[in-house]
Amino acid sequence: MKRNRLFTWLAVIAVAALSSAATQWVVRGRPAAAPDRCLEGAFLARELGLSADQARAVGQLEQAKDAQLAACCSRHCAARAQLGPLLAGTNAAAAQAALKAMSQAYAESERVTWDHIQRVRALLTPAQQARYDALVARSVCGACNMDQAPAAKM
């Protein structure tokens, strides 16, 4: 008798958990693709049905973008490393210069990303462009690490 009651409770808990998960999925929709996924050639090939030529071109663009972003990241990290010791010091001008270098590196990374999105878009058919635009808008424009932007749904 106790064993039947235990199995009944386990079944109730399992059904409740599945119902909760299904409700969350319906209410929130599919999670947005991570921003970096929308810049990956393999992801785009699968999501957009790219031809072999398109996939090859997107792969080349991706390699160039990755190299540029790595350079931006290196400049940003170097400036941040310079800024650290200056925060507690009295050399405000040097701290401002390091902060400016960090900001410029970050801004450049945003420009590189924007340029990459536009170059990929130029390779696509109109139907693929519409899907790509939706993916980019959903993942880049709807994502906010601080939960200040509304969640984008598709």
pLDDT digits (tens, 9 = 90+) for 62-93: 999 999 999 999 999 999 988 888 888 888 88
Number of domains present in the structure of the chain: 1
Whether 152 is in a domain gets the answer no
Res. 152: pLDDT tops 60: no
What pLDDT, in 10s, does the model give residues 100-144? 999 999 999 999 999 999 999 999 999 999 999 988 888 776 655
Does some domain include residue 10? no
CATH number at residue 53: 1.20.120.1490
Examine residue 153 and state whether it is found in any structural domain, yes or no.
no
Domain ranges, residue 136: 34-141
User: Do the domain assignments include residue 47?
Assistant: yes
Residues of the chain with pLDDT > 70, as a percent, come to 68
Give the residue ranges of DSSP H helices in the chain.
2-28, 41-48, 52-86, 92-123, 126-136
